[in-house]
Amino acid sequence: MIIKIVSSLIVLLCIQNVLASPHSVLYHDFSVVRFTTQNEQELIILQDFVREISQMNKELIENWSEWRIGHVDVMVSKTIMHLAIDLGLEYSIYIENVQDLIDDQWSKNLGASEDDFFSKYHSYEEIITWLKQMQSEHSDIAQFITIGKSLEGRDISGLVITGNNGNSSTKPAIVYNGGIHAREWISPATLTYIINYLLTNYHNDTATKYLVDNIEWTLVVVLNPDGYVYTWEHDRVWRKNRRKGTFCDGVDNNRNWDFHWASGFNECAESYPGSSGFSEPEETSMANYIKSKKGQVHGYIDFHSYSQLWMWPWGWSSDKPKDQNDLTKLGTSIKAAIAHVHQKEYTIGNIYSTIYPAYGSSVDWTYGVAGVKYSYAVELRDTGKHGFVLPPEEIIPQGQEIIPAVILMANQIIKEFGN
């Protein structure tokens, strides 16, 4: 009897070890706290606290959401929770135990069906294999491309999708990228969902065929492959690329675009912008690709998570862009279209006023330098319940609600810039 009990315990422990995440960095003693920031002064108090703690020990604290008046989510070690509470800011515990959330996501991913690509998240290698397979199955309208290499030598790849009805270089182009921030797994997953929608509906849906025939689509699924791989193997909530630093590693690829780039001296900060604009090969490859299109690109989306936001320039300034009315009009239509699918509400607006000043960002560069009129930064699901560790069962509904936005934006671009 004792032998049977011991054997059962061993089997149970083995199952738990298989289902637990394989990461070397664990977060059992961390919670995500949502601080209410009612004004600029309270926001600065929280910023200073996070900066001071991270400079002493980066492993004790990390901001999860963008800095903004309203609320900010911060992952805090329980060993310093009392210091965070002593700030005197209104707060609530949004995620009690971060590691429990990570383990739950990992176990669901392992248990997901292998028959449906969108029932689970996929590693970088699996995504590249899938892209090549999709290109092979739809070779009449899809081309596999590599636009550059990461710091560690990984390919930055995607698909170009367009009908063979003429010279694609004369069509208006749309460029999407995902995975610029490594921990935002729903971003690459959503890009693959869009790719699948365009390719599999081309021959049986006239509306999709119209969009593919009249636009050259480029979708780069994982712009920061080194960071993405790192989130699978070592640290699930890693954000930056894998640039080696003196005190802390990594550069924020979405603060490194060389347009109103602002220097930062704290390389341990999650938004550390690097030593200079375009010091990092990942987003530089994307910028070079867009420049190579020589004015052909009229739509761009940089997909992120989380918070459910649909934003446009500027991030560096409170000034409104010259196309403010058109960006707002399309954004308003997109907001309504997304809400119609699963009743998810997105907040829309300029980056500067919707969240907080952001220098050296992707959409400011695409709009301000490359002249891409419809440049958007999108924060996908959710609003904080799971944060970056969104369960895999959210992949399909997230994809379903983003498709109407894709369609609206594409039709607007054809209307304005089509041949």
- Closest among 364, 359, 360 to 377, alpha carbons compared: 364
Q: What does DSSP say about strands 173-177 and 155-161: parallel, antiparallel, or unpaired?
A: unpaired
Q: Is 320 helix (H, G, I), strand (E, B) or coil?
A: coil
C-beta separation of 225 from 232 below 8 A: no
Label the pairing between strands 155-161 and 374-380: unpaired
Cβ atoms 212, 173 nearer than 8 A: no
**Residue 304's Cα: distance from chain center in Å?**
2
Please name which of 250, 137, 243, 281 lies closest in space to residue 196, comparing C-alpha atoms.
137
Find the distance separating the first CA and the last CA of the chain, reported in whole Å. Answer: 79
Residue with tokens 């706290």: 33
Q: Which helix (H) or strand (E) holds 31?
A: strand 30-37
- Which of these is catalytic: 216, 267, 379, 401? 379
Instruction: Confirm whether 379 is a catalytic residue.
Output: yes
d(CA 370, CA 297): 8
Q: Count of residues for the chain? A: 419
HEC string of 12-60? HHHHHHHHCCCCCCCCCCEEEEEEEECCHHHHHHHHHHHHHHHHHCHHH
Q: What span, in angstroms and rounded, lies between the C-alpha atoms of 202 and 207? A: 8
The DSSP 8-state label assigned to residue 321 in this structure reads P
Hey, which residues are catalytic here?
379
